[in-house]
Amino acid sequence: MWNASTKFEGDLQEGRLFHAYFLSGPEDQAPGLLERWSHLLLCRDPQPADGHLEPCGRCLSCQAYLPEGHPDSFWPRGSSLGVEEVRQAIQFASYHPYVAPRRVVILGPLRLMGAEAANALLKTLEEPPFGTVFLLYNQSRLEVLPTILSRCRILELTGEVQVPPEVVERVARELREFREGKVSATQLAQRWAQSHGDQPLLEVLALLLRDALALYTGGEPQAISAAEGIDLGPLWKGAADPWGLLLELRRHLAFHVQAENAFLQFLLRLEVGA
């Protein structure tokens, strides 16, 4: 927590704020930290105290600050983060602040965001409204569209989910064999349903889709090297919206749709565009 806060407060103190921050960290800690940061952003005169910054507590903006909200901050705290919430956030960001030096939008956890909402947010981050700072969070970076992350200053509260490289390799190989017709969707869904409880399969799929997108757009894959002979590029080219499919898979598993069925649907739809 120290590191992320020190970096953020350094940016604020040195007057070089980014228009968007992404904080990865546990969902029971990240929102609290972002609330503190938002108060600092809203205060007109943050004060140094014990090597930290504290809101002054006296300015007009601090006086308007309540834990439930502030006229210059927007934080939808529902159980979903749909395109409607993102549109409201974008509209909010387009106005001048009332009392604070800037406006603040807090959004998260981003895993709740569907593909449409993620695209709306991405467009805004590509052409950010002047005078608004976006504070975004999610437990794992792997669940967030890489194009969104590339527009943010990334700060980490705690380490990422650790994904063993041998699992990444195995899943990549399985996906390739599936696309080459060497293993059927039913077979692979069965295998994944058996192993997903004790392996970070969704995180691995997220990593692989990110790599596939990187390869497709001429970037560098991170999880697996092209030298290993696993070309994931066509994955992205083929299916209409692999990221949307992964989000749907995650929802299905969270809502206890039978795992084998959830994986089967994912694979069949991934195959459609092949």
Contacting positions for Zn ion (CB under 5 A): 43, 55-56, 59, 62
Please state the closest distance from residue 57 (CB atom) to Zn ion, in A. 6
Question: Which of residues 59 and 168 has its CB atom nearest to Zn ion in the complex?
Answer: 59
Closest approach of Cβ 72 to Zn ion, in Å?
12
Q: How far is the CB of 33 from Zn ion (least distance, A)?
A: 19
Pick between residue 7 and residue 44 the one whose CB is nearest to Zn ion: 44
Q: Is the CB of residue 75 less than 8 Å from the CB of residue 37? A: no
* Residue 56 or 122 having the CB closest to Zn ion: 56
- The CB-of-133 to Zn ion minimum distance in angstroms stands at 16
Nearer to Zn ion, 55 or 108 (CB): 55
Q: Are 206 and 143 in contact (CB under 8 A)?
A: yes
Residue nearer to Zn ion on the CB measure, 56 or 185 = 56
Closer residue to Zn ion in complex, CB, 24/61: 61
CB of 70 to Zn ion, least distance (A): 11
Rounded Cα gap, residues 3 and 246, in angstroms: 31
- Write down the least CB distance from residue 43 to Zn ion, Å: 3
